[in-house]
Amino acid sequence: MNNLMKAPQRLAKRMLPFQQKGVAQALLDALPFFAIPADAIEVLPDPAAFRQALLQAIAQATRRILIVALYLQDDDGGREVLDALYAARTKNPALQISVFVDWHRAQRGLIGKQKSEGNAGMYREYDKRLGPGVLIYGVPVQNRELFGVLHLKGVIIDDTVLYSGASFNDVYLAKQGRYRLDRYHRLQHRELADAMAEFLRRHFVEGEAVRRLNVPEVPTTRSLYPAIRTFRQDLDQARYDVPHDVLGDTDVAVTPLLGFGRVDNVLNDVLLALLRGARRRVILLTPYFNLPRPVRLVLGQLLRRGCEIHIMVGDKTANDFYIPPPQPFRTIGLLPYLYENNLRRFARAHRKQIASGQLNVYLWRDGDNSYHLKGLFVDDDVAVITGNNLNPRAWALDLENGLLLRDPAHRLKAKHEAEWTALKQHAVRLSSDFALESPRSYPAEVRKNLKRLNRTRLDRLVNRIM
């Protein structure tokens, strides 16, 4: 009944995706926040520093360790994290340790590899060998992985929040000579950590659909269908519990935001409101150039208003789906080329702004490493730290979150400028759409499959779900 009553509102949001500027600003002004001292917020420079901070925090934990990620992989990097968790539990048997990963992703092998029981097999092997105490949960956001996954991020260790869009494996943790670059922030604040931990307890641990993976008997996904439906209804109404603090001269206003579903999605609404309210400059980071239509339209409005826009995206060879031509082709390897075609169309539509320097598109590449950055900087006083890829899948299917940082006193400006400067060291500004590789130069297998997708218009579907 509630869904039926909300139908006109939902329809209006779909038809009129943009709020008036005053309404958008009112949304931002009404957001509650934690007042966190600026010196309690730290930007970590690279994957190695993130890995070191994570392992050190785990070793020093006294009360709780809560980890949320898409996956914790069965490789050296993932096992190093699990070893650290079990060692911390042995040292302090009263320590609360819970890990939350996507239910579907944990129970399958890697794409293109032989069928296996996935990372869950490692979880059960550790539990059998080292005993109980580390609780590993699978979170089923949807009945099937294709239609939505757990993309919530964050590590809560005692009163510290380590936030990154990274998952946990060799490449994210820079274990085997290669790395996948993300953003890494450490916030020291008990109330923020408590709020994020309470969300996990209330909506995950107490949820009927969220089940342990490191136990001998795991229920089938089909048997959980009714519970997953109830879980999704719960997530539609879920929010972080955030107070209305008073901001001091040296404080930053930090608001944790949840994003789920096509409508009434707080994270999406805030991202659009921030973009609409930009006065001078926007920096947008995304690993896959596949922007949701509302974001593309707002960027067009900003360009017409004269706002300066910087977009950093990974070069197609820095995409985690990229398959170098000597390796056997797999269908998943089409994605980097689809994203490059999206970028080509965008750059072609904005040639004038690129030529004038109003629009700056940067392609990131560093050897055979990959790029996984997400987030926003708006003017000099707002930043968003998030795992949201800013693509249609994140906008409508996955369960996302993020931290909104509002900094009216510019206490974080130097840190953000340093982060942006460091990112540009491995990035090249796109001079025009002609600077991208011509589709005629793509490998033959790629050209053949792209033509097939274009002819059947399946490329549009792929852009909506990947």
Exposed e or buried b per residue across 38-56, where buried means at least 16 C-beta atoms within 10 angstroms of its C-beta: bebbebbeebeebbebbbe
Which 3 state secondary structure label does DSSP give 97? strand
151 is catalytic: yes
308 is catalytic: no
Give the torsion sign (CA, 383, 300, 258, 48): negative
267 contacts 402 by C-beta, under 8 angstroms: yes
The DSSP element (H or E) to which 355 belongs, if any, is helix 351-356
366 contacts 423 by C-beta, under 8 angstroms: no
Count of positions (residues) in the chain:
466
Q: Which residue has the tokens 């239509």?
A: 293
Longest distance between any two alpha carbons in the chain, whole Å: 63
| β-strand pairing of 375-378 with 382-386 | antiparallel
End-to-end CA distance of the chain: 32
Q: Which residue of the set 104, 127, 151, 407 is catalytic?
A: 151
459 is catalytic: no
Nearest CA-CA partner of 390 in 169, 113, 151, 223 = 151
Q: How many CB atoms lie within 10 A of CB 294?
A: 17
How crowded is the C-beta side of 100, counted as CA atoms within 13 Å? 28
Give the torsion sign (CA, 289, 300, 256, 9): negative
Q: Which residue of the set 74, 251, 398, 400 is catalytic?
A: 400
Measure the CA–CA gap between 299 and 292, rounded to whole angstroms: 11
Q: How many CB atoms lie within 10 A of CB 422?
A: 12
Which 3 state secondary structure label does DSSP give 447? helix
185 is catalytic: no
Q: Which residue of the set 74, 127, 182, 269 is catalytic?
A: 182
Measure the CA–CA gap between 75 and 54, rounded to whole angstroms: 17
Measure the CA–CA gap between 115 and 138, rounded to whole angstroms: 19
Catalytic residues: 151, 182, 372, 400
